[in-house]
Amino acid sequence: MKKYLFTFGSFILAFIFIAATRALTGTGVIDLGALDNYAAQPLPPYITKDNTPLNNEITDLGATLGRVLFYDKKLSVNNTIACASCHIQALGFSDTALASAGVNGVTGRHSMRIINSRFAQEQRFFWDERAATLEQQSTMPIQDHAEMGFSGQNGDPGLDSLIRKMEKLSYYQELFFAIYGDYTIREARMQRALAQFVRSIQSFDSKYDQGRAQVPNDAILFPNFSMQENLGKNLFLTPAQFDPNGFRTGGGAGCAACHRPPEFDITPNSGHNGMIHALDGSIDLTNQRSPSLRNLMGPNGRFNGPFMHNGALKSLAQVVAHYNELPQELLDSMLYFNTLDQRLRPNGRLQRLQLSPQQQNAIVAFLLSLSGNDVYTDSRWSDPFDENGNLSVINTAMAIEEEKSLDQVHLYPNPTSGEVYLHFPAGEYKLEIRNIKGQLLQHQELREATTLSLSAYPAGLYFVRLRDLSQEKLKLMKVLKY
């Protein structure tokens, strides 16, 4: 019997040891007693835009559930695709592929970076803004036939079948229970958690932020910027002046009219920006949203993927060249031209910025200053699953409570599949079994050793508390049910 008597402490140590030797996959452990900070992250004072709805503020527990959902391949019909398959942390939560691979083919548009999604006036999401809120957006990929496959149409299983699959997973039982006090999984609950996690992904450690923190507003020269970066900033911020034919005669490049600092979020109700070809070659005039222009480039100096909804522009030089000289084909059809954002057709003509190569390079240098570092590696936004796709939910805050006083009490086997034998000297005892949230599941008076059954409960961690009524001593034990 001795070999069953290893303590839960050594169990946790084993986890920590395994975690330390593993860099890329997750630790496979979520500790409800030591949650990451998502809710109270520091924000620079100049960041004011926020699309968080009043009824779904970020909580540490909610965002933690969101993180698990975001990285869980079991949310796809064939257990191969998670949100994170197309939104890769090391790539600014985007993808270098033009179109990302889903369970049944590839996406129709290029993946979007999802950093600082929260810090925007715009409530709508996707390139074409078809999702009215981030909450609504968050389960659309799961219900997309090509992406994760639970569409409920043409032979695909529906979301109800995914929910039944999730209900059998102990980590969801424990996380949903910890948040709601019951095990019920609903689409709205998934949406809330995913949106909290996505909104929690923030990045404000760029060179731009270091400069912005030192001055009262964007228009002032940043002391930490090169002359080129300051020139680029000025061009980005300043509106252009145009002659009657759309040729720029003075001012800057007018980028900030649509990509507004300091969040660099898109102005609501923009038109398209002249990128009118879909990935499949057809015409698509519906793309009116850009993710924040922060983090276009990763800390390794590599772009986080090609630019625009169709990934057609491979460098920032090409992006600036696009705005400098909008494609002539926009004049081929009244429809193309009339859906082009008004700000890009001054005096009813195509904008011609006529920027010098030096000015174009300066805008690129400024755009590069908007990239941060930590968001690419911060573990709170990383994969929580271990290399075998497993995850356990524990609560060390409850585990460290006490190990004291009452001697000669033994509980085995531990971990158990259901039955545990509780041994103690004869006397008057009170027994309590609680789940990880501290909810009382069983209580009884005991006089002698007995067998306890955890069979009715889902897999997870349970707390057994034995109080010796005659001596007022107690012992708290943790049992892991698998």
Task: Select the span of 4-12, 102-110, 163-171, 388-396 touching ligand HEC (CB under 6 A).
Answer: 102-110
Among 259, 294, 345, 434, binds ligand HEC (CB under 6 A): 259
Q: Do 34 and 399 meet the contact criterion of CB atoms below 8 Å apart? A: no
Angstrom distance (rounded) from CA 59 to CA 282: 42
The rounded distance, in Å, linking the Cα atoms of 121 and 288 is 14
Residue pair 209/226 in contact by the 8 Å Cβ criterion: no
Contact between 330 and ligand HEC per CB under 6 A = no
Q: State how far the Cα of 96 lies from the Cα of 201, in Å rounded to an integer.
A: 19
Residues 200-210: b if buried by 16+ CB within 10 A, e if exposed: bbbbbebbbbe
CA distance 60 to 50: 18
Q: Is the dihedral of CA 255, 260, 263, 267 positive or negative?
A: negative
In angstroms, give the least distance from the CB of 368 to ligand HEC: 11
At its nearest, how many Å lie between ligand HEC and the CB of residue 127? 4
Structure tokens at 394: 């524990």
Q: Does 293 bind ligand HEC (CB under 6 A)?
A: yes
362 binds ligand HEC (CB under 6 A): no
Does 88 contact ligand HEC by CB under 6 A?
Answer: no
**Which residues are CB-contacts of 82 (< 8 A; sequence separation ≥ 6)?**
70, 71, 72, 73, 75, 76
Q: How far is the CB of 14 from ligand HEC (least distance, A)?
A: 31
- Tell me the residue type at 357: P
Nearest one of 83, 40, 50 to 265, comparing CA atoms: 50
**Least CB distance from residue 374 to ligand HEC, whole Å?**
20
Given candidates 88, 237, 240, 255, which one binds ligand HEC under the rule CB under 6 A? 255
Q: How far is the CB of 228 from ligand HEC (least distance, A)?
A: 15
CA distances from 344 to 247, 253, 257 (A): 11, 10, 10
**Peptide bond connecting 223 to the previous residue in cis, omega within 30 degrees of 0:** no
Q: Which of 102, 149, 211, 261 forms a contact with ligand HEC (CB under 6 A)?
A: 102
476 lies in the binding site for ligand HEC (CB under 6 A)? no
Binding mask 197-236 for ligand HEC (x = CB under 6 A): -x--------------------------------------
Q: Are 198 and 375 in contact (CB under 8 A)?
A: no
Q: Rule CB under 6 A: is residue 270 a binding residue for ligand HEC? A: yes
Figure out which of the listed residues 330, 344, 370, 409 binds ligand HEC, where binding follows CB under 6 A: 344
C-beta closer to ligand HEC: residue 295 or 435: 295
Site string for ligand HEC, 141-180 (x = CB under 6 A): xx----xx--------------------------------
260 binds ligand HEC (CB under 6 A): no
**Neighbouring C-beta atoms of residue 414, cutoff 10 Å:** 21
* 151-168 core/surface letters (b: 16 or more CB in 10 A; e: else): beeeebeebeebbebbee
**Between residue 111 and residue 130, which ones bind ligand HEC under the rule CB under 6 A?**
111-114, 117, 125-128
The least CB distance from residue 306 to ligand HEC, in Å, is 7
Q: Is 85 in the site for ligand HEC (CB under 6 A)?
A: yes
Query: Does residue 257 touch ligand HEC according to CB under 6 A?
Result: yes
143 vs 395 by CB, closer to ligand HEC: 143
Q: Which of residues 49-78 bind ligand HEC (CB under 6 A)?
A: 70
Token pair recorded at residue 80: 């191969």
The reply to whether omega before 415 is within 30° of 0 (cis) is yes
Chain residues binding ligand HEC by CB under 6 A are 70, 81, 83, 85-87, 100, 102, 107, 109, 111-114, 117, 125-128, 134, 137-138, 141-142, 147-148, 194, 198, 253-255, 257-259, 270, 272-273, 275, 287-291, 293, 296, 307-309, 319-320, 323, 341, 343-344, 363
